[in-house]
Structure 1
Amino acid sequence: MTVTREPRLDDPPPERTARRPDGPETVDFDGLYHAHFRSLTIQLTAYCGDLTQAQDMVQEAFCRAFARWSRVSRYDDPVAWVRRVAWNLATSRWRRLRTAQAWLHRQREEHVPGPGPDRVALTAALAVLPTNQRRAVVLHYLADLSVAQIAAQEDVPEGTVKSWLHRGRAALAAQLTTTNEVNHHD
């Protein structure tokens, strides 16, 4: 007569342990994880040069093993499966990085000159304008919006936009004149 006991709280869930087909040996996911996480992480850190990335890849490999544990646990060497998945993840990461670096390199090959002194002076002068005036000047002169379009966007009367533009132009003129005088005296 076989006596079965009630499951205890410290028993692993049934899907996390499995019997190998060749015998009674039980492979426990938690035991496999604790026994091999560190060594796999060390291997991948040496390969990719980044401890955090290596930990993430090994963790992902174990997550994938856990999702397929009923099958993976029957393999002759379940840790070999986890190792292969982790290394495949590292290789995929390396390929993505290489592709991204090649793309960035191609983007940098185009020479784009930096901003000239006039652009720098204008940017600095715009930065000191009050927000409403700066927004009106940028929308009118850089975005080519009319006074009516700015008024509709900002939900203010057209007269208010005209006032912002007038004050903004006057402040910019004063700022740029001061900047020009300083630059000519140097």
Structure 2
Amino acid sequence: MTVRHQAGPPRVVPPAVDFADFYRAHFHRLAVQLYAYLGDHAEAQDLTQEAFCRLLERWDRVGGYDDPVAWVRRVGWNLATSRLRRVRTAVRHLARQREEHVPGPEPDRVALVRALATLPAAQRQAIVLHHLARLSVAEIAGHLGAPEGTVRSWLSRGRAALASYFTERPEGDDA
């Protein structure tokens, strides 16, 4: 007969870093990643701020994690994905109402964001996490819950699509 000892409540490890220092160190990187994913700078900053607000509510617990950056990044990406879904739903609703949504002109400096928008969401997310967030394939796989081979495939296909996008477009084409 084995006797099981009931474990006590989980041990809370106090955060090693002050929240304000953590915020200053990581806000900009996450905002840049979300901007590349969404294509809207103000929305990316708002969602990054919301992710950090949610982190602040849980800082005593999450701050003690091995990688609290992964937690706040996951929350930010989830918020961004939810935002994209809401926008898509709104556009479909407007289309049913026979209203036409015409996006305004985009400045030339967002060519990469426009190119990323042509990629499927999984490829776009993998490209942004690998090249902007500088995560390894293994980290991206863990973050997205996908096999490493799938992530490598998304990266390869995404890079090929971006190369094709930039080589097939004539110079000065703003379409």
Q: Give TM class, smaller chain.
A: 0.3 to 0.5
TM-score, L = length of structure 1: 0.45
Query: Larger radius of gyration, structure 1 or 2?
Result: 1
